[in-house]
Amino acid sequence: MSISPTKESIPKLAPPNTIPIHDPPSPGTHRALRRLQSSHTLGQSQPSLIQQQHRQNFQRNQSPANTPHHARGRSNSDAANMTPPRPGAAAARRPIPMSSKKPVAADACSLERLIRDGPPDGDLVSALDSARLKILDQGIPSDKQGMSTLRIYAWLILLNAPILETDSYLALIHRGASPVYSKIKNDTFRTLKTDPFFVKRVSESSLVRLLNAVAWKLQDAKEEKAGSLAMSRSNKLTHTASLQGSPELQSSTPAMKSRARAITLTTEGSDAGNSESGTYVQGMNVLAAPFLYAARSEAEAFVAFHHLITVECPGYVRGAMDGVHKGLALVDKVLEIVDEKLYLYLIGKGMPANLYAFPSVLTLCACTPPLPQVLNLWDFLFAYGAHLNILCIVAQLVVLRTSILNEPSPTLILRKLPPLQADIVKGVALSFVKQIPDDLYAEIVSHAK
């Protein structure tokens, strides 16, 4: 059984035009949150939610008979089950109202208690579902600047990020400048410079260290992959040489020898078409910024950000950024389905998504201020899947529908979107889920892989 939310399990919100926008509650009303320590040291008497999540991961890996089955493919943003989704396994059911969810013990617990103490009855699946609904319905408690002592731990759990010792992060820092250090420095000085909250809390040095450490981590992964590939090819060449010298092949016909050589060449070139992973692309600085803002340490931000770009959306930072380009095509497809008139108007004006939505796709809308609203939107994306960012981008277009249709040059509106209103965007995006065909939804789920 999968613990990842499926398309059918995504609940509905109130209609977008009835969603009130209020300032989030201040942590002053949740003083207990200030006593939160690291998510890996809380709840000594009972394993925390993240600890139980990793424990179940280990048990699943040790027991092949317990391999879970996915009813609907989605990204791995919060799945303790790491089995890749099956694209063709879409179910016919549609989103269900929140009220139809069967009550469980975790529903009576606050989000803080779930993270600190873990599931009250040991039911990790139900606890994660309950946590998602609490985040969607109530939000993560934070002040007007988006600051919350709880958010980073919720993100780490929802992303299923691994535990990382601080010394491991420091070891990457002590390696010095990575091969892409100059590219990183060319971008970091202008990261969210118009956001006073970010500038006040996060230094450029901190952002440089984080991106440089990630670059070293990705570089090590590339070298390890290259070494494995070289060893594999060496073994294939050795195998080919032994075949050529074997009595069976020597006594075979020329046609058989030719076929054997063709099979060997085909096998050796099977990896040639794979896109090579990069270590840094422009825009990663903006994608990393909210993690540093929300985290209580660089190490926490590092492990969450690295997991996002290597598991959740590796296609966004791959050399050709093919995941981003697929996402842009999907923005057009979704817009055509949910608002054909708006889609045709933009296309008629020569404005496909690749001309205005590239930053929004790459950064999960982090390029659109204000930052506290971005954090609110990310709570939703990490709870139900970062792939839903595609729907959130379309939702912003639909919210601006009247202004766009009345503007002879939509470029003036779309190249700098109005301030983000996360609650409205989430409500509109969720209203699209029912309209999207299963095959297109499967594309949305897998486009960033």
pLDDT single digits (tens) 416-432: 999 999 999 999 999 99
Q: What is the pLDDT of residue 227?
A: 74
Q: How far apart are CA 265 and CA 230, in angstroms?
A: 15
44-83 residue pLDDT tens: 444 556 556 656 655 555 544 444 333 334 444 433 333 3
- The contacts of residue 230 (CB under 8 Å, 6+ apart) are none
Q: In whole angstroms, how far apart are CA 173 and each of 217, 302, 368?
A: 11, 11, 30
Measuring CA to CA, which residue among 281, 289, 290, 286 is closest to residue 322?
Answer: 281
Average pLDDT over residues 302-331: 96
- HSE-CB for 257 with a 13 A CA cutoff: 13
* Number of residues written out for the chain: 449
Per-residue pLDDT for 356 more than 70?
yes
E strand or H helix at 59, and its extent?
Answer: helix 49-62
Per-residue pLDDT for 302 more than 60?
yes
Measuring CA to CA, which residue among 433, 440, 442, 441 is closest to residue 94?
Answer: 433
236-282 residue pLDDT tens: 555 444 444 444 444 444 444 443 333 333 323 333 334 455 789 99
Helix (H, G, I), strand (E, B) or coil at 318: strand
Per-residue pLDDT for 112 more than 50?
yes
Q: What is the pLDDT of residue 429?
A: 98
Q: Are 292 and 321 in contact (CB under 8 A)?
A: no
Residue type, 438: D
Residue 36 vs residue 301, higher pLDDT: 301
Q: What single-letter DSSP state applies at residue 273?
A: T
Average pLDDT, the chain: 79
Q: What is the pLDDT of residue 328?
A: 98
Report CA 139 to chain centroid distance, whole Å.
Answer: 19
Residue type, 26: S
